[in-house]
């Protein structure tokens, strides 16, 4: 169960440079304030797949990074199973499995070692982590990949290992940032099946948040959709509910209307 | 979860990661192991060739046939006179001729007989080090010729030769054999420190900027681990590699000695297991500090390439500071011990001179290294979260 209330975050960006380098520049640039997230709220219940849908730059990744405690929010609250992320970030992280935008693996370690390393960092024993790696390998069909170094892996293969790594501690809350990027049709289908199973009672009734900009994904998978645009939550509800709200037949049209306004362009 | 378990887990993973990077590791270790013998070999080759040219007792002269008196003198001093090649100036400039040349004017013999002080020229090239050494030998030899001629003339006139030398001058060298050797072996500490630096560099960059470049730092921080524990584990691995290089390069001088070609150098260069151990006492804290410092610089960089550029500053400082010792011509100021890198160089030079390491001398540099390590690691831990998402 994840609750996000009225979250907001602004960044200082200076012309043409990232913040770190600007500090060493000769003259002071007037800092530009970028309001990445202005008011995002969502509630993701257990045993449901919640879609976080929004155009590029809507603030999805920033929101998820705040959820992971990597960025401190300016305002708002983030709760994971009742634990406040800003107060007890590590307790919250222990209850989350997060596949972030950056999903780099260690190229000189095998897929199994990559997964077991994260398991151990989550406090699992070696044996437990290895057992879990075997289970995940069956679920995600890693098979022969498991004992190969990840150096030459294809994007889809990397993606699967990164997903297994995020799920190694069997978290109650699963957060996936654009998980189908780089996956082929078969792998996408398999992932969809896995997520559906994780949602069920025998799969653990996980709370799953799926951030994406692919409509099909949302239509096929999500029980609940939160539409984010320009750093704000602009609508939420089931796919059917959003269709009814906008009076559209096609979900893509409904999304464009919600995200960009009736004219289809950003106001 | 227990933070120390995190430290162990990260340390083990980073070590495995570093060990699997075979090519880099082998290059670093091989250069550390081979460095000692190779440097010693080069030095001993240089010293041996200086010694052999001193032993050869040869004088290169242009126009020696015009000066039978001088030739006779040289031969009585058991020197062999070799005629200079026609293009000796060019050869000296190109360093293909390593002996200074005496140029004898055509009218040398007649002028000498008439007492007209003929001019003898000693030609060397100061860019040609060995010709300079042979020039000073030649100058002494010719001064001897002068003295002999003067004494002969005085004796003929019935004057006591003692009048010519109212004061007797004798020089006494206070330097012990080992102190004299440090003039030649003085660069060894510098080479050892460079080996430690380069050893730490690759590992330090890989665990920081490399992790950012691969995009694996952000997921790493999504684990519920203490940040300081992650940093400590990473540093442990980098420092282990740096210390391994330090141990190997210190030990490499032991077998390196067997190859010393110059007996004088072998007698002067006292480096046994005790000296190796003292080197390590000085070097290990340095390896720890350098590892932490390189990590602190590299974590601010997004890519390995950027990090390599930034760490050049650290590498440059660490390699230039010890040179202060060389420029000040061995004069040691107390503040030298307060400058990291320079302090290590000073202390290792002491060891080579055969002085015992004094605890009070060791305390300041060691504590400084500890302070640098702690400060740099704290900086890494602080920047880590910001670095992950930028």
| SS3 per-residue string spanning B155-186 | HHCCCCHHHHCCCCCCCCCCCCHHHHHHHHHC
Which position has the token pair 């010709």? B131
The predicted complex's ipTM stands at 0.90
State the pLDDT at residue B329. Answer: 56
Q: What is the mean pLDDT of residues B377-388?
A: 90
Which residue in A has a C-alpha nearest to residue B390's C-alpha?
A: A18
Do A118 and B1 make contact, defined as CB atoms within 8 angstroms?
A: no
Q: Which pLDDT score is estimated for B178?
A: 61
Confidence at A22, pLDDT banded by 50, 70, 90: very low
Partners of A3 in the β-ladder: A43, A79
pTM of the model: 0.81
CB–CB contact A162 B219 (8 Å):
yes
Strand partners, A17: A14
The pLDDT value recorded for residue A48 is 95
Please give the Cα distance from A224 to B285 (Å, whole number).
57
Q: Cβ contact (<8 Å) for B214 and A107?
A: yes
**A70 with B218: Cβ contact below 8 A:** yes
Share of chain B above pLDDT 90, in %: 33
Residue B218 scores a pLDDT above 90: yes
Nearest CB to A121 within list B20, B225, B389: B225
Residues A38, A230 contacting (CB under 8 angstroms): yes
For the stretch B259-277, pLDDT in tens is 666 666 676 677 888 889 9
Which two structure tokens, joined as six digits, stand for B332? Answer: 């040691």
Q: Between chain A and chain B, how many beta carbons pairs sit less than 8 Å apart?
A: 87
Mean pLDDT of A254-259: 91
Q: Token pair of A99, please?
A: 């596949």
Closest CA to A100 of A24, A203, A209: A209
CA B307, CA B208: separation in Å to the nearest integer? 9
pLDDT at position B24: 87
**Cα–Cα dist A11/A69, whole Å:** 16
CB contact under 8 Å between B222 and A105, yes or no, is no
Give the confidence band of A28 by pLDDT, cuts at 50, 70, 90: low
Distance CA B134, CA B340 (A): 39
Query: According to the model, what pLDDT value does residue A13 have?
Result: 74
Select from A85, A105, A106, A116 the residue whose CB has the most chain B CBs within 10 Å, as the one to mutate to test that interface: A106
Asked if B309 reaches chain A (Cβ–Cβ under 8 Å), the answer is no
Residue A164 distance to chain B (closest CA, Å): 12
pLDDT digit string (tens) for A199-243?
999 989 999 999 988 888 899 999 999 999 999 999 999 999 999
pLDDT of the residue at A8: 93
pLDDT exceeds 80 at position B124:
yes
Instruction: Tell me: pLDDT of B55 over 80.
Output: no
User: What Å distances lie between residue B352 and A263, B271, B284, B375, CA to CA?
Assistant: 82, 7, 17, 32
Question: Which candidate in B214, B223, B313 is best for mutational testing of the A interface (most A CBs within 10 A)?
Answer: B223
**Candidate ranges A80-84, B58-62, B84-88, B161-165; pick with highest mean pLDDT:** A80-84
pLDDT at B179: 61
Chain B residue numbers with beta carbons less than 8 Å from the beta carbon of A166 are 219, 222
| B279-321 tens-digit pLDDT | 999 999 999 999 999 999 999 999 999 999 999 998 888 888 8
For the ranges A195-199, B174-178, B185-189, B349-353, the maximum mean pLDDT occurs at A195-199
Q: How many CB atoms lie within 10 A of CB B2?
A: 10
Q: Does A113 touch chain B (CB under 8 A)?
A: yes
Inter-chain CB proximity A90 and B16 less than 8 Å: no
Local confidence band at A19 (pLDDT 50, 70, 90 cut-offs): very low
Q: For residues B73 and B102, what is the distance between their CA atoms, to the nearest angstrom?
A: 14
DSSP state letters, A94-143? HTEEEE-S-----TTSBHHHHHHHHHHHTT--HHHHHHHHHHHHHHTT-G
Mean pLDDT of B110-128: 87
Terminal CA-CA length for chain A: 34
Residue A267 confidence class, pLDDT cut points 50, 70, 90: very low
Nearest-by-CA chain A residue for B216: A104
Per-residue pLDDT, averaged over B23-35, amounts to 86
DSSP E strands in A193-231: the ranges are 207-212, 224-229
Q: Using CA atoms, how far apart are residues B79 and B72, in angstroms rounded to an integer?
A: 10
Any idea which of A57-66, A187-196, B140-149, B350-359 has the lowest mean pLDDT?
B350-359
What is the chain B residue with the closest CA to A175?
B222
User: What does pLDDT average to over chain B?
Assistant: 86
Which positions in chain A touch B5 (Cβ < 8 Å)? 120, 123
How large is the average pLDDT for residues B368-390?
Answer: 92
**Residue B387, CA distances (Å) to A63, A66, B203 in order:** 17, 14, 18
Count of helices and strands (H, E) across chain A: 10, 10
Give residue B185's pLDDT band: very low, low, confident or very high (50, 70, 90).
confident
For residue B161, how many other CB atoms are within 10 A of its CB?
12
């Amino acid at each position: 169960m994840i609750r996000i209330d009225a979250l907001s975050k602004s960044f200082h960006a200076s012309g043409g440079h990232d913040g770190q380098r600007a500090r060493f520049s000769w003259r002071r640039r007037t800092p530009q304030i970028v309001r990445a997230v202005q008011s995002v709220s969502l509630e993701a219940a257990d045993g449901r797949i919640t879609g976080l849908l929004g155009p590029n730059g809507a603030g999805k990744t920033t929101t998820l990074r705040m959820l992971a405690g990597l960025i401190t929010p300016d305002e708002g609250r983030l709760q994971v199973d009742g634990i406040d992320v800003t107060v007890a970030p590590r307790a919250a992280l222990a209850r989350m499995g997060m596949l972030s935008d950056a999903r780099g693996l260690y190229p000189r370690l095998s897929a199994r070692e990559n997964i077991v390393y994260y398991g151990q960092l989550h406090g699992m024993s070696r044996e437990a982590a290895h057992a879990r790696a075997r289970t995940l390998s069956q679920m995600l069909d890693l098979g022969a990949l498991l004992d190969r170094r990840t150096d030459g892996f294809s994007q889809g293969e990397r993606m699967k290992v990164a997903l297994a790594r995020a799920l190694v501690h069997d978290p109650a809350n699963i957060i996936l940032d654009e998980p189908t990027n780089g996956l082929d049709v078969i792998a996408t289908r398999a992932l969809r099946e896995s997520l559906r199973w994780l949602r069920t009672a025998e799969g653990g009734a996980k709370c799953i948040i799926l951030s994406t900009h692919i409509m099909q994904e949302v239509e096929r998978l999500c029980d609940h959709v939160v539409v984010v645009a320009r750093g704000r939550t602009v609508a939420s509800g089931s796919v059917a509910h959003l269709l009814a709200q906008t009076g559209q037949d096609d979900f893509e049209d409904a999304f464009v209307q919600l995200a960009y306004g009736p004219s289809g362009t950003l106001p | 979860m227990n933070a120390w378990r995190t430290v162990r887990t990260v340390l083990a993973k980073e070590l495995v990661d570093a060990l699997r990077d075979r090519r880099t590791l082998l290059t670093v270790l091989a250069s550390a192991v081979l460095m000692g013998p190779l440097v010693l070999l080069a030095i001993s080759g240089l010293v041996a060739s200086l010694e052999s040219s001193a032993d050869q007792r040869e004088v290169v002269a242009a126009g020696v046939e015009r000066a039978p008196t001088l030739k006779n003198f040289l031969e009585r001093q058991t020197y062999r006179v070799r005629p200079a090649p026609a293009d000796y100036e060019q050869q000296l400039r190109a360093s293909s001729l390593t002996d200074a040349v005496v140029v004898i004017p055509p009218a040398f013999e007649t002028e000498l007989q008439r007492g007209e002080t003929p001019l003898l020229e000693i030609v060397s090239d100061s860019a040609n080090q060995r010709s300079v050494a042979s020039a000073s030998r030649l100058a002494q030899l010719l001064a001897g010729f002068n003295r002999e001629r003067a004494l002969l003339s005085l004796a003929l006139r019935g004057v006591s030769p003692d009048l010519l030398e109212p004061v007797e001058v004798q020089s006494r060298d206070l330097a012990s054999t080992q102190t004299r050797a440090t003039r030649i072996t003085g660069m060894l500490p510098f080479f050892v420190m460079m080996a430690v630096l380069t050893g730490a560099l690759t590992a330090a960059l890989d665990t920081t900027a490399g992790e950012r470049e691969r995009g694996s730092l952000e997921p790493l921080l999504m684990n519920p681990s203490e940040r300081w524990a992650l940093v400590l584990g990473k540093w442990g691995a980098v420092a282990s590699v740096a210390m391994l290089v330090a141990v190997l390069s210190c030990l490499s001088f032991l077998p390196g000695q067997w190859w010393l070609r110059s007996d004088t150098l072998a007698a002067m260069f006292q480096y046994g297991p005790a000296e190796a151990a003292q080197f390590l006492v000085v070097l290990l804290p340095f390896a720890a500090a350098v590892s932490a410092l390189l990590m602190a610089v590299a974590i601010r960089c997004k890519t390995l390439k950027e990090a390599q550029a930034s760490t050049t500053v650290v590498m440059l400082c660490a390699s230039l500071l010890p040179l202060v010792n060389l420029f000040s011509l061995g004069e040691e100021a107390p503040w030298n011990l307060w400058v990291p890198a320079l302090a290590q160089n000073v202390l290792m030079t002491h060891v080579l001179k055969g002085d015992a390491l004094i605890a009070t001398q060791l305390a300041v540099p060691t504590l400084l290294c500890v302070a640098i390590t702690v400060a740099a690691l704290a900086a890494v831990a602080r920047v880590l979260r910001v670095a992950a998402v930028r």
